[in-house]
Amino acid sequence: MTDKRKKIEEMIDKTLLCMDPTGINAKKYRNTFQKMSDVQFKKWIEAFLADEKSNIRLDIEEFGDGSRTLKFENIEKAADYLGIKLFENVYLPHVSSNPNRPIRTKQPVLVGWLNIKRTQQLASKKTGLALSDDNRDEMTGAVKGDAKGGTMTGIENELLAGVGGYDILSEISGARGDNVMEYDNMLKSIAENGQVKLADIKTNVYDKPTLLAADMYFMAMGLKTDLISESYYSVEKVKKVLDNQ
């Protein structure tokens, strides 16, 4: 058992040193193993191998001085040491018209487990089908009641912004949201051309009732925002200035 234990400890130690050159992670496991007898180590390694969810934990500091930030080059070093191929040709049978001749990626791509946690605040269970858009809030212009098909939550908007989905946000918060002007332009383009582009139906900020209402509420509290304009003029005053230009 001593020789096997030595090889196991050496493999864990070198792998952690490849991924964390500071040696902090390697030292932590080294100290843990030193306190174990051969019997205790055997019991630990058997339990570790029997549980598919068990992993060697790597502690990093993402926003520190950079010395303990996980870098891909260090992952490559650890993979080379363990003999793991990070890049492989991937076959995609679901995108091929002939299942017997699946499409293969032109170049080897990065493969591995991708852990994705479902966000807690999703509107998927609240989404329905609306056949009318007549029931709208008089203040914000957003559909409500039977006319509302679904709602975008704050966390979903943040996720879209985080991945650069600004056009999706613009569509959902505009033509498919409270902007009646963009909505009418969208229906008109679909009726006349059979299709619609977001760039063709975009309007200005003064056609967004929700922003106008929010700006009004802030102004009523004595607070000035830049939601509509950086000037201290009212919305009506700014519109008149723009119309006269």
In this prediction, residues 221-238 reach a mean pLDDT of: 74
**What is the model's pLDDT at position 96?**
80
User: Does residue 35 register a pLDDT over 70?
Assistant: yes
User: Does residue 131 register a pLDDT over 80?
Assistant: no
**What is the model's pLDDT at position 1?**
58
Per-residue pLDDT band for 18 (boundaries 50, 70, 90) equals very high
Mean per-residue pLDDT over the chain, rounded? 81
User: Does residue 146 register a pLDDT over 60?
Assistant: no
CA distance 174 to 183: 8
Reading the block at residue 160, the tokens are 């879209």
User: Does residue 125 register a pLDDT over 60?
Assistant: no
Per-residue pLDDT band for 212 (boundaries 50, 70, 90) equals confident
**What is the model's pLDDT at position 27?**
93
**What is the model's pLDDT at position 159?**
84
Closest CA to 212 of 138, 135, 145, 154: 138
Q: Which residue has the higher pLDDT, 227 or 89?
A: 89
